[in-house]
Amino acid sequence: MLEQAISDALDRTYGPIETTFTVTTVPEGGAPFDIRQDWVGARLPLRKLHAVRLLHGYIGRRFYPVPEDKAVDAITGEQLAWPVWGNVEIRGYDAVDSLRDLGRVAAADFWEQYKEAMLSFQMSEGYIEGRPR
Between the CA of residue 72 and those of 11, 17, 36, what are the distances in Å? 28, 27, 17
Range list of H helices, the chain: 4-14, 33-37, 48-55, 92-101, 105-111
Alpha-carbon distance of 24 to 127, in angstroms, equals 8
Residue 97 has, within 13 A of its CA and on its CB side, a CA count of 16
54 vs 123, residue with greater confidence: 123
Whose CA is closest to 44, among 86, 112, 104, 93? 93
Condensed to tens digits (0 to 9), the pLDDT of residues 13-43 reads: 767 788 889 999 999 888 999 999 999 999 9
Q: How far, in Å, CA of 37 to CA of 129, rounded?
A: 21
Q: Of 34-48, 69-83, 103-117, which range is least confident?
A: 69-83
Q: Which position has the higher pLDDT, 74 or 38?
A: 38
What is the model's pLDDT at position 79? Answer: 63
Instruction: Parse the chain into domains and list their residue ranges.
Output: 4-128
Query: Which pTM was predicted?
Result: 0.71
- Percent share of the chain, pLDDT over 90: 30
Angle between helical axes of 4-14 and 92-101 (0-180°, round to 10): 140
What's the confidence (pLDDT) of residue 67? 47
